[in-house]
Amino acid sequence: MSRLRLQDQVKWVPLASQSMVQKIPKATLAVLFTTGILTLLQFCFPVLIVTLERTPSMLAAGQWWRLITPTLINPEGWSQIVFNLLGIAVVGFLVERMFGSARWLVLYLAGAVVGELAGSVWKPAGAGSSVAICGLLGGLAAWLLWRRQPTQSRFGGAMILLGALVQTGMRDLHGPPLVAGAFAAVVMLSRDASRASGA
Protein backbone atom coordinates (compact mmCIF):
# COMPACT_ATOMS: atom_id res chain seq x y z
CA MET A 1 0.00 0.00 0.00
CA SER A 2 2.75 2.49 0.97
CA ARG A 3 4.63 1.51 -2.18
CA LEU A 4 1.64 2.37 -4.36
CA ARG A 5 1.25 5.74 -2.65
CA LEU A 6 4.91 6.52 -3.20
CA GLN A 7 4.60 5.67 -6.91
CA ASP A 8 1.52 7.88 -7.21
CA GLN A 9 3.38 10.79 -5.64
CA VAL A 10 6.38 10.34 -7.94
CA LYS A 11 4.09 10.38 -11.00
CA TRP A 12 2.01 13.29 -9.74
CA VAL A 13 4.81 15.77 -8.99
CA PRO A 14 6.18 16.07 -12.55
CA LEU A 15 2.65 16.53 -13.91
CA ALA A 16 1.96 19.34 -11.45
CA SER A 17 5.27 20.99 -12.28
CA GLN A 18 4.57 20.73 -16.00
CA SER A 19 1.15 22.34 -15.53
CA MET A 20 2.71 25.24 -13.63
CA VAL A 21 5.40 25.74 -16.28
CA GLN A 22 2.78 26.03 -19.02
CA LYS A 23 1.13 28.89 -17.13
CA ILE A 24 4.32 30.93 -16.73
CA PRO A 25 4.12 34.03 -19.00
CA LYS A 26 7.57 33.55 -20.51
CA ALA A 27 7.47 36.41 -23.03
CA THR A 28 6.11 38.87 -20.47
CA LEU A 29 8.76 37.97 -17.90
CA ALA A 30 11.59 38.03 -20.45
CA VAL A 31 10.67 41.47 -21.80
CA LEU A 32 9.94 42.82 -18.31
CA PHE A 33 13.32 41.61 -17.04
CA THR A 34 15.25 42.95 -20.05
CA THR A 35 13.50 46.31 -19.99
CA GLY A 36 13.90 46.66 -16.23
CA ILE A 37 17.63 45.89 -16.34
CA LEU A 38 18.38 48.26 -19.24
CA THR A 39 16.24 50.99 -17.67
CA LEU A 40 18.24 50.72 -14.45
CA LEU A 41 21.54 50.65 -16.33
CA GLN A 42 20.68 53.91 -18.10
CA PHE A 43 21.27 55.71 -14.80
CA CYS A 44 24.79 54.27 -14.52
CA PHE A 45 25.61 54.54 -18.22
CA PRO A 46 23.78 57.52 -19.77
CA VAL A 47 25.35 56.64 -23.13
CA LEU A 48 22.74 53.86 -23.32
CA ILE A 49 20.05 56.49 -23.85
CA VAL A 50 21.91 58.06 -26.76
CA THR A 51 22.61 54.64 -28.23
CA LEU A 52 19.07 53.24 -27.97
CA GLU A 53 16.68 56.20 -28.18
CA ARG A 54 14.54 57.20 -31.15
CA THR A 55 16.60 59.34 -33.51
CA PRO A 56 15.26 59.82 -37.07
CA SER A 57 18.65 60.87 -38.45
CA MET A 58 20.19 57.63 -37.17
CA LEU A 59 17.30 55.64 -38.64
CA ALA A 60 17.90 57.32 -41.98
CA ALA A 61 21.59 56.39 -41.65
CA GLY A 62 20.64 52.71 -41.49
CA GLN A 63 20.43 52.08 -37.75
CA TRP A 64 17.22 50.09 -38.18
CA TRP A 65 17.45 48.62 -34.67
CA ARG A 66 16.22 51.95 -33.35
CA LEU A 67 12.74 50.82 -34.39
CA ILE A 68 12.90 48.46 -31.39
CA THR A 69 15.56 49.62 -28.94
CA PRO A 70 13.76 52.79 -27.72
CA THR A 71 11.19 50.49 -26.05
CA LEU A 72 13.92 48.90 -23.91
CA ILE A 73 14.61 52.04 -21.86
CA ASN A 74 12.45 54.58 -20.06
CA PRO A 75 14.47 57.78 -19.62
CA GLU A 76 11.70 60.26 -18.75
CA GLY A 77 11.62 59.73 -15.00
CA TRP A 78 10.23 57.40 -12.38
CA SER A 79 6.60 57.92 -13.32
CA GLN A 80 7.32 56.61 -16.82
CA ILE A 81 9.37 53.72 -15.43
CA VAL A 82 6.71 52.59 -12.95
CA PHE A 83 3.80 53.03 -15.38
CA ASN A 84 5.48 51.19 -18.25
CA LEU A 85 6.87 48.30 -16.21
CA LEU A 86 3.48 47.80 -14.59
CA GLY A 87 1.91 47.97 -18.04
CA ILE A 88 4.19 45.22 -19.35
CA ALA A 89 3.46 43.08 -16.29
CA VAL A 90 -0.33 43.49 -16.14
CA VAL A 91 -1.35 43.88 -19.79
CA GLY A 92 1.38 41.48 -20.85
CA PHE A 93 0.17 38.75 -18.51
CA LEU A 94 -3.42 39.03 -19.73
CA VAL A 95 -2.50 39.11 -23.41
CA GLU A 96 -0.08 36.20 -23.14
CA ARG A 97 -2.79 34.05 -21.58
CA MET A 98 -5.07 34.90 -24.52
CA PHE A 99 -2.61 34.64 -27.42
CA GLY A 100 0.39 32.65 -26.21
CA SER A 101 4.05 33.67 -26.10
CA ALA A 102 4.86 33.77 -29.83
CA ARG A 103 1.85 35.88 -30.75
CA TRP A 104 2.49 38.09 -27.72
CA LEU A 105 5.88 38.93 -29.21
CA VAL A 106 4.29 39.70 -32.59
CA LEU A 107 1.85 42.14 -30.97
CA TYR A 108 4.58 43.74 -28.85
CA LEU A 109 6.97 44.17 -31.78
CA ALA A 110 4.19 45.43 -34.07
CA GLY A 111 3.37 48.13 -31.52
CA ALA A 112 7.05 48.98 -31.10
CA VAL A 113 7.83 49.32 -34.82
CA VAL A 114 4.67 51.22 -35.76
CA GLY A 115 4.95 53.44 -32.69
CA GLU A 116 8.58 54.30 -33.37
CA LEU A 117 7.80 55.07 -37.02
CA ALA A 118 5.00 57.41 -35.91
CA GLY A 119 7.26 58.88 -33.24
CA SER A 120 10.02 59.60 -35.74
CA VAL A 121 7.58 61.96 -37.48
CA TRP A 122 5.48 63.31 -34.61
CA LYS A 123 8.00 63.22 -31.72
CA PRO A 124 11.47 62.78 -33.22
CA ALA A 125 13.47 62.35 -30.00
CA GLY A 126 12.47 60.03 -27.18
CA ALA A 127 12.18 56.52 -25.83
CA GLY A 128 9.87 54.38 -23.73
CA SER A 129 8.01 51.08 -23.66
CA SER A 130 4.53 52.56 -23.93
CA VAL A 131 4.17 52.21 -27.72
CA ALA A 132 4.98 48.48 -27.53
CA ILE A 133 2.49 48.08 -24.67
CA CYS A 134 -0.09 49.76 -26.90
CA GLY A 135 0.43 46.94 -29.40
CA LEU A 136 -0.58 44.49 -26.67
CA LEU A 137 -3.51 46.67 -25.64
CA GLY A 138 -4.76 46.82 -29.21
CA GLY A 139 -4.60 43.03 -29.37
CA LEU A 140 -6.55 42.82 -26.12
CA ALA A 141 -9.24 45.14 -27.52
CA ALA A 142 -9.59 43.02 -30.66
CA TRP A 143 -9.85 39.85 -28.57
CA LEU A 144 -12.60 41.33 -26.39
CA LEU A 145 -14.63 42.25 -29.48
CA TRP A 146 -13.92 39.07 -31.45
CA ARG A 147 -14.59 36.51 -28.74
CA ARG A 148 -18.10 37.78 -27.98
CA GLN A 149 -17.39 38.65 -24.39
CA PRO A 150 -20.03 40.19 -22.06
CA THR A 151 -21.32 43.61 -23.10
CA GLN A 152 -19.13 45.47 -20.60
CA SER A 153 -15.98 43.81 -21.93
CA ARG A 154 -16.90 44.46 -25.56
CA PHE A 155 -17.65 48.08 -24.68
CA GLY A 156 -14.20 48.34 -23.12
CA GLY A 157 -12.61 46.94 -26.26
CA ALA A 158 -14.55 49.36 -28.44
CA MET A 159 -13.47 52.30 -26.25
CA ILE A 160 -9.81 51.29 -26.60
CA LEU A 161 -10.09 51.26 -30.38
CA LEU A 162 -12.02 54.53 -30.43
CA GLY A 163 -9.31 56.08 -28.28
CA ALA A 164 -6.72 54.75 -30.75
CA LEU A 165 -8.43 56.54 -33.63
CA VAL A 166 -8.72 59.77 -31.65
CA GLN A 167 -5.07 59.63 -30.64
CA THR A 168 -4.03 58.97 -34.23
CA GLY A 169 -6.07 61.95 -35.38
CA MET A 170 -4.35 64.08 -32.74
CA ARG A 171 -0.92 62.88 -33.94
CA ASP A 172 -0.24 61.11 -30.65
CA LEU A 173 2.32 58.36 -31.27
CA HIS A 174 0.33 55.91 -29.09
CA GLY A 175 -2.60 55.78 -31.52
CA PRO A 176 -0.99 53.95 -34.47
CA PRO A 177 0.49 51.09 -32.38
CA LEU A 178 -2.93 50.48 -30.82
CA VAL A 179 -4.39 50.17 -34.32
CA ALA A 180 -1.49 47.96 -35.44
CA GLY A 181 -1.92 45.62 -32.48
CA ALA A 182 -5.66 45.34 -33.10
CA PHE A 183 -5.10 44.64 -36.81
CA ALA A 184 -2.48 41.96 -36.09
CA ALA A 185 -4.79 40.34 -33.54
CA VAL A 186 -7.71 40.28 -36.00
CA VAL A 187 -5.51 38.53 -38.56
CA MET A 188 -4.51 35.92 -35.96
CA LEU A 189 -8.06 35.38 -34.73
CA SER A 190 -9.52 35.14 -38.24
CA ARG A 191 -6.91 32.53 -39.17
CA ASP A 192 -7.86 30.55 -36.08
CA ALA A 193 -11.53 30.77 -37.04
CA SER A 194 -10.76 29.61 -40.59
CA ARG A 195 -8.81 26.61 -39.32
CA ALA A 196 -11.56 25.72 -36.85
CA SER A 197 -14.25 25.88 -39.55
CA GLY A 198 -12.14 23.79 -41.91
CA ALA A 199 -11.40 21.14 -39.32
Catalytic residue ranges: 130, 174
Alpha helices (H) along the chain: 2-23, 26-44, 47-52, 56-60, 78-99, 101-122, 130-146, 151-169, 175-198
DSSP 160: H
Can you name the residues that pair with 123 across neighbouring β-strands?
Answer: none
Tell me if 55 sits within 8 A of 125, measured CB to CB. yes
The neighbour count for residue 7, using CB atoms within 10 Å, is: 10
Residue pair 65/112 in contact by the 8 Å Cβ criterion? no
Rounded Cα–Cα distance for residues 101 and 99 (Å): 7
Residue in 97, 71, 28 with CA at minimum distance from that of residue 177: 71
